[in-house]
Amino acid sequence: MTRISKRLKAITSYVAKDDKVVDVGCDHGLLSIYLIENNLVSKVIASDVNENALKNAISNIEKRNLHIKTVLSDGIEKIDLKDINTLIISGMGTSTILHILHDNKKLKKINKLIIQANNDHYILRENLNEKGYYLKEESYTYDKNKWYVTSLFVKSDNKNTIDVLKYGFLNNEDYNDYLLKKNYEILKKIPFSSFKAKFNRFKEIRNIKKAIYKSK
Ligand SMILES: C[S@@+](CC[C@H](N)C(=O)[O-])C[C@H]1O[C@@H](n2cnc3c(N)ncnc32)[C@H](O)[C@@H]1O
């Protein structure tokens, strides 16, 4: 059986048996393989924009005698999404992720997005709310000295609160500590001559503390 990292496992906790998934930017294809080997979803298409990455995925799939369709595509552009209801996008920055999700027409039947973005989570959550995706759950995973944010969005007209859009659900004390520490470090590096920037960062820390308090 294929083994996957703790951060990829976090993604699998949001899939359901009847999900028909595209693993966008599959790279080595290990997540797609894991989902099929463990019967966690009913279908997976593994895709990547990079030819070498897709070749690796194909080789890993063939080694295990599995039947997983692979597609070379920039995002979902060249993928037939007829019977697909879920996209998994992980290990990319928010601007790439939003590029992949830019075509609203292609997203018509996609009712679930599982996203592990490397950065700019506020921008991601805000843009996806505007596109009609509601942040239902989020988990925070520490793996190999790094924090990973795994977000489950579902199609809905509901909107998240500003605190959730900015900071997530703040339901993991270790991650909350990390968020505060990161902001204190930024504050420390701002020179006293940049008074406004220092003041704004100070306000941000106060807002995070308030949001953590409210979330309890
Ligand atoms: C850091 S790897 C992450 C791989 C895997 N999703 C994971 O989380 O382990 C990023 C992958 O996304 C692919 N990628 C980047 N931009 C893409 C795009 N616009 N469409 C499809 N794949 C893309 C890259 O080629 C690369 O294989």
Q: Quote the Cα angle for 46-123-16, to 5°.
A: 40
Per-residue pLDDT of 141-185, as tens digits, reads: 999 999 999 999 999 999 999 999 999 999 999 999 999 999 999
User: Which CA distances in Å does 4 have to 11, 35, 143?
Assistant: 11, 10, 12
Looking at residues 60-79, what average pLDDT do you find?
A: 97
Give the class (CATH, top level) of 6-160.
alpha beta
Mutation probe of ligand 1 site: the residue of 9, 92, 101 with most atoms within 8 A of C-beta: 92
Residue 179 is predicted with a pLDDT of: 96
Nearest residue (by CA) to ligand 1, atom 13, is 25
Q: What is the CA radius of gyration of the chain?
A: 19
Residue 85 is predicted with a pLDDT of: 98
pTM, whole model, 2 decimals? 0.97
Per-residue pLDDT of 93-144, as tens digits, reads: 999 999 999 999 999 999 999 999 999 999 999 999 999 999 999 999 999 9
Residue 27 is predicted with a pLDDT of: 98
**Sheet (strand 86-92) strand order:** 69-72, 43-48, 20-24, 86-92, 112-117, 146-155, 133-143
> How far is residue 27's CA from residue 81's CA, in Å, rounded to a whole number?
20
User: What are the structural domain ranges in the chain?
Assistant: 6-160, 174-214
Separation of CA 201 and ligand 1 centre (Å):
32
> How far is residue 83's CA from residue 95's CA, in Å, rounded to a whole number?
26
Q: Of 165, 102, 170, nearest to 131 (Cα)? A: 102
> How far is residue 20's CA from residue 152's CA, in Å, rounded to a whole number?
15
Report percent pLDDT > 70 for the chain.
100
Looking at residues 19-40, what average pLDDT do you find?
A: 98
Residue 56 contacts residue 27 (beta carbons within 8 Å): yes
Residue 216 is predicted with a pLDDT of: 84
Separation of CA 47 and ligand 1 centre (Å):
9
| Mean pLDDT for all residues in the chain | 97
Closest ligand 1 atom, residue 11 Cα: 8
Q: Of 174, 182, 180, nearest to 211 (Cα)? A: 180
Residue 41 contacts residue 15 (beta carbons within 8 Å): yes
Separation of CA 202 and ligand 1 centre (Å):
35
Nearest residue (by CA) to ligand 1, atom 5, is 26
